[in-house]
Structure 1
Amino acid sequence: MQRNPELTVRPLAGLPMFATGMSIAQAICASLEAEGDQFRDGDILVVAQKIVSKVEGRTRDLAGFSASEEARELSRVAGRDPRMMQAILEESSQILRGTSAAVIAAHRTGHVLANAGIDASNVDGAAEGRVLLWPLDPDASARALRAELRKTSEVRVGVVIADSMGRAWRIGTLGNAIGCAGLTVLEDRRGTGTDLYGRTLQATVIAIADSIAAMAALAMGEGAEGTPVALVRGCARWVTAEDGPGAISGLRPIAQDMFR
């Protein structure tokens, strides 16, 4: 019987309030140094999407969006600010459904989620209509952060950019990988692994990056904890030398989509 690794996850303390142009990598390294720690081979840094968006200048004021007729129609259906609807439209490739609870959109990166990932929680100025958009390319953001982190260490380090999303037919949100570098996104065990009775696995594809993001989200918290980065250890077997294809490789192709 194969023994599973012992996994540990801890949020990093002492991180600043991030703003445009700041270095997440430098803040992470300073936090580790303050704790008397350093990177180990196979470490994974899970970083909240919000701080990546903030340092990349993805904050927007709704006053800057001019509502189109499509946005106004969506506003009537969803009962939401038409300027917010315009922001969602501009960040989306397709609107799947609009209700008073949420607008379900296919983000231009391919991820399907509520409101195209646009959020106002933990955003300074939200009361005045300020919102935060996703990074332009979350996988590219993960690769850039990994490259900067590797300047301080020669060990293999993986990076996951995570955001909380809802799930079809389930209540509540779960941490998901929206950007990834240096980590196996999917472990395909079909035809290679076996169950306890030696039966060859037929349908098992494990969402490694999403599983790590979900675990880290519990440690980081969703509210005023102020801990937007978590260090995960015990997953070295999934950390890769190359950046890899990114989180986008974990999206189901439209041809296999059973809901659209």
Structure 2
Amino acid sequence: MVLFSRRRGRVSAVHARIADGEHLWLAVRGAESLCLVRDGGPTPGPVVDVDTEVETHDGVRLLTAVVTLAAIDADDDADDLVVRLRHGARRRPVALALADRPSSPTLETPPTADRRWQWSIHDDRGLVLRRTAREPGVGVLGVARLDDTVVVRLEGSPSTVTVHGSTLAVDDGVVVLPPVSRLGLDDLPVGTPALLEADGRAVVRTRSVTDRPNYATLLPSTSSSDVELRWLRDGRLALYRHGGTDA
């Protein structure tokens, strides 16, 4: 596997990924030191020095690091936070030079463990991290098949769950999804998810997983041969009719 693109010369990040929602994995070519600076208009925000190690791949010297993102944003509750990767004493931008990766069903950047925030990586005159606030969701504690129904155990004490226009009562944190034929899904188009919502909030996976989200938190089959429960890439739970592309 090619770790990085072959463009050389300037300081550039050849690998940058937030695989678990909590840490940034970095490999930077051509730099002597790295730091992270929060955007603050004309006056730069606090600087976080990045602890790095030196590695060599294909004869190229790289600075590698695993950065705990909480060290950057622990004291900042802004809904939209922008952080820039810099290098050297003059804090110059670090360009992005990531190798192409094939598309996959993976969730590229899961939310933070508390599901409050979503980090993402951008190219804006250099490598930029952006943290945005997420809408609060209701976590799934367990899912099991029971005869022709599916039993879903939820966090908290929601009163109802809605899916595709049907409203289901929640009893002590448990909602029972009836057979698919009783949920009025006949008009659900192929490839279109029918989201589950608890008191108007998305029903979401409680674990941040990096690969194969449908397998990392297994879901039982439904009573229908062409409708399944599915985790969407952003962690929401939905009923989904076979035949379309991944949501």
**Which TM-score bucket, shorter chain as reference?**
under 0.3
TM-score, L = length of structure 2: 0.27
Larger radius of gyration: 2
TM-score, L = length of structure 1: 0.26
Q: Whose helix fraction is larger, Structure 1's or Structure 2's?
A: 1
Higher RCO (C-alpha under 8 Å, 6+ residues apart): 1
